[in-house]
Chains A and B, each alone.
Chain A
Amino acid sequence: MQLPDHFEFMCPVKTGSGSQALSHLPSDLAALDARKPLILTEKKNSEKGLVKHLVQAFKTWNITLGVYDGIDDGTNLETVKELYNLYLDRGFDSLIVLGNGNVMNTAKILNIAVSGKPEDLKRVKEGGTITEPLKPMVYIPVISGTGTETSGDACLDGLCVSSTFLMPDIVTIDPKVLLDEDPEKVVNTGLAALTYGVEAYMADDANPVTLTYAQLAVDFVVNNLEVLVRESLVARGKVKAAIREFQAKKERTALVNAACMAGYVYASTGRGLASSLGAHVADASGFPKGIAMGLLLPYAMDVSARIKGRDLSSLMRPMAGIEMFCCTPEAQRFDYAVNRVRLLQNELFSLTGGRVPRTLEDMRITRKTLAGIAEKTSQENGACDSALCLTILEHAYDGKPVVS
């Protein structure tokens, strides 16, 4: 890409990834002057033993950990109020989030309250901004996620906030806590990360730094998601399963890295066509947001390249590798990239027995609702033209590529 005349990029997150990454956490927290963290998680993560792994990392540190594992889909601002009282009464000074979207949203909202006054939440709800850094927050991802956990966005119980100060201070990706998950959830994470990564290439405010992160996110998803889902569905004996688990840990780590990087990209570029439409399609269909966004992604790519005239040929490089990229004529590179995304979706549809849809028709959305979704998206995101949104939705309904 050409170097823009001016650009800004901010990612205040320290990312640690790989074997024994959790063992670095206590010293990283100590560097932030945090001595008594409160761990927020879901019951299922406690039951799977993930909290045990985390506690293990704090051995010898003479630190008392608070663990709250009651976060679920019903968590609301009342829960945040209770957690606020707990946080202050017990003298906690930082938050550790072990989990995905819902837990992270709760933690971000709680962090606004505990870092200042509880009235700050009300002020933020009325349109006020966060003006000062919040208490230290650590994010430890599990395999399923939404791709926006590491961004500055939080939405809980109708309260939606966006600020750079909501980005976690530390992200620790340890294969120990990346256990096997339902393929649909894995696909949701992967497609959400892929969407935010690809949308960075389509964004008007893209810059060389965001594209570096985006390129890695796209690379990790395209080269790991399909194989991870395929292999997780193969029945194996105990020994072969243990050998496979070793390889799967690497693929899961790559996928979660992609999701975290997608969050950093999302924080600096914002929503594109596929993610804006995807949110409404998910609401209308009941499918997870990542899957809906991923389904719309190739059509949004078509519109961006073939109608808006944006050059997306460089997307081929993370998908195909540098050698294939170099030996492909420039005019064919975009076709390769968009077809690679379509191929990935078709493979996932086949592997999951149709649980990951290829078209909006597979999602059981009626054609009549498309105009409404397009209109709603256009109203919400001024950058999305209603006619273009409808074009994307209609083509995605039939699975028909958009041509110029």
Chain B
Amino acid sequence: MNDFKEIEPGGRPFVRAYLEFMLWFVGRAIQAASKVDDSVRREFAELPEGFTFALTAAPAGPSMVVGKDNAGKVKYLGRSIEGRNLNVKMTLKSMEGLFQLFTFRESTPIANARDRLFVEGNIPEACAAVRILDIVQVYLLPKPVAKLAIKRYPIWDLKRHSWNRAMVNLRAVIGF
């Protein structure tokens, strides 16, 4: 059996670090957008109180958890899904899938069509979470990049494109 060997595939520390940063920033941006953007506010208003959703990659993250408390306030709840009671959990089948998503080589609908993610939870709530993610990506990314990340780039007024965008980015940075 000279031709046999055992291999430990190891991890991808740089990719993980990049994804953890991106998820942290997007999580905080969702929190910010819920205060600044009417569409995001409306989406969250439709969701039940105490609603929590997570975006993660199998088998062990990185992850992002966002929730709405009983007072209706949206909060980025951190990067751990352990012990949380999640209403919607969107899991990419591999970290590579999440990396493709956050390097904007594939949009969420394309990743879904290519069977790269599975959702645990109610479909309408998962769709709402995807719509929120799409709006936040439009706020965070320049138009040519955002076009790659979402299905259809929206037509927004000037205020939303300039003032709201600045506020979402600023609030995401300072975490307010």
Q: Which of B7-47 contact A (CB under 8 A)?
A: 7-12, 16
Q: Across the interface, which residues of B come within 8 angstroms of A20, CB to CB?
A: 96-97, 100, 114, 116
Q: Are A57 and B94 in contact (CB under 8 A)?
A: yes
Which residue on chain B has the smallest CB distance to residue A51? Answer: B7
Q: Are B3 and A43 in contact (CB under 8 A)?
A: yes
**Which of A23, A63, A70, A90: most chain B Cβ within 10 A?**
A23
Interchain CA distance A62-B60 in the complex, whole Å? 10
Nearest Cβ on chain B to A98's Cβ, whole angstroms: 13
Residue of B3, B60, B100, B114 touching A69 (CB-CB under 8 A): B3
Q: Are B96 and A23 in contact (CB under 8 A)?
A: yes
Q: Across the interface, which residues of A come within 8 angstroms of B7, CB to CB?
A: 55, 64-67
Residue of A18, A70, A90 touching B114 (CB-CB under 8 A): A18
Nearest Cβ on chain B to A387's Cβ, whole angstroms: 49
**Which of B2, B9, B95: most chain A Cβ within 10 A?**
B9
- Asked, given contacts A26-B59, A27-B58, A82-B1, whether A63 binds B9 with beta carbons under 8 Å apart, the answer is yes
Q: Across the interface, which residues of B come within 8 angstroms of A82, CB to CB?
A: 1
Interchain CA distance A64-B93 in the complex, whole Å? 19
Q: Across the interface, which residues of B come within 8 angstroms of A65, CB to CB?
A: 6-9
Question: 1/0 per residue A24-57: CB within 8 Å of B?
Answer: 1011101000000000000100000000000111
* B contact face: mostly helix, strand, loop, or mixed: loop
Q: Are B115 and A67 in contact (CB under 8 A)?
A: no
Q: Are A60 and B11 in contact (CB under 8 A)?
A: yes
Q: Are A24 and B9 in contact (CB under 8 A)?
A: no
- Asked, given contacts A61-B59, A64-B8, whether A26 binds B94 with beta carbons under 8 Å apart, the answer is yes
Q: Are A90 and B9 in contact (CB under 8 A)?
A: no
> Any chain A CB within 8 A of the CB of B5?
yes
Residue of B3, B8, B16, B97 touching A23 (CB-CB under 8 A): B97
How many A residues touch B, CB cutoff 8 Å? 30
Interchain CA distance A82-B10 in the complex, whole Å? 28
> Any chain A CB within 8 A of the CB of B156?
no
Interface range, B side: 20 to 34
Q: Are B6 and A59 in contact (CB under 8 A)?
A: no
Q: Are A59 and B12 in contact (CB under 8 A)?
A: yes
- Asked, given contacts A16-B115, A23-B97, A27-B93, whether A60 binds B16 with beta carbons under 8 Å apart, the answer is yes
> Any chain B CB within 8 A of the CB of A383?
no
**Which of B5, B11, B16: most chain A Cβ within 10 A?**
B5
Q: Across the interface, which residues of B come within 8 angstroms of A60, CB to CB?
A: 9, 11-12, 16, 59-60, 94-95
Q: Are A23 and B93 in contact (CB under 8 A)?
A: yes
Q: Across the interface, which residues of B come within 8 angstroms of A69, CB to CB?
A: 3
Q: Are A27 and B6 in contact (CB under 8 A)?
A: no
Q: Are B9 and A58 in contact (CB under 8 A)?
A: yes
Nearest Cβ on chain A to B34's Cβ, whole angstroms: 31
Interchain CA distance A28-B94 in the complex, whole Å? 10
Nearest Cβ on chain A to B90's Cβ, whole angstroms: 14
> Any chain A CB within 8 A of the CB of B4?
yes
Which residue on chain A has the smallest CB distance to residue B94? Answer: A23
Interchain CA distance A62-B11 in the complex, whole Å? 8
Which residue on chain A has the smallest CB distance to residue B100? Answer: A20
> Any chain B CB within 8 A of the CB of A9?
no
Q: Across the interface, which residues of A come within 8 angstroms of B16, CB to CB?
A: 60
Nearest Cβ on chain A to B69's Cβ, whole angstroms: 32
Q: Which of A375-403 contact B (CB under 8 A)?
A: none
Q: Across the interface, which residues of A come within 8 angstroms of B6, CB to CB?
A: 64-67, 90
Interchain CA distance A86-B5 in the complex, whole Å? 11
Interchain CA distance A24-B116 in the complex, whole Å? 7
Q: Across the interface, which residues of B come within 8 angstroms of A90, CB to CB?
A: 6
Q: Which of A54-107 contact B (CB under 8 A)?
A: 55-70, 82, 86, 90
Q: Across the interface, which residues of A come within 8 angstroms of B96, CB to CB?
A: 20, 23, 57
Interchain CA distance A55-B5 in the complex, whole Å? 12
Q: Across the interface, which residues of A come within 8 angstroms of B10, CB to CB?
A: 59
Which residue on chain B has the smallest CB distance to residue A36? Answer: B6
Interchain CA distance A30-B96 in the complex, whole Å? 17
Residue of A26, A61, A68 touching B3 (CB-CB under 8 A): A68
Q: Across the interface, which residues of B come within 8 angstroms of A43, CB to CB?
A: 3
> Could you name 9 residue pairs across A and B whose Cβ atoms are closer than 8 Å?
A20-B116, A24-B116, A55-B9, A57-B94, A59-B9, A60-B95, A61-B9, A64-B6, A86-B4
9 nearest A-B residue pairs (beta carbon): A70-B3, A58-B9, A23-B96, A23-B94, A27-B93, A59-B9, A65-B7, A68-B4, A60-B95
Beyond known contacts A23-B93, A64-B7: 5 more, CB 8 A cutoff: A24-B116, A27-B94, A58-B9, A59-B9, A90-B6
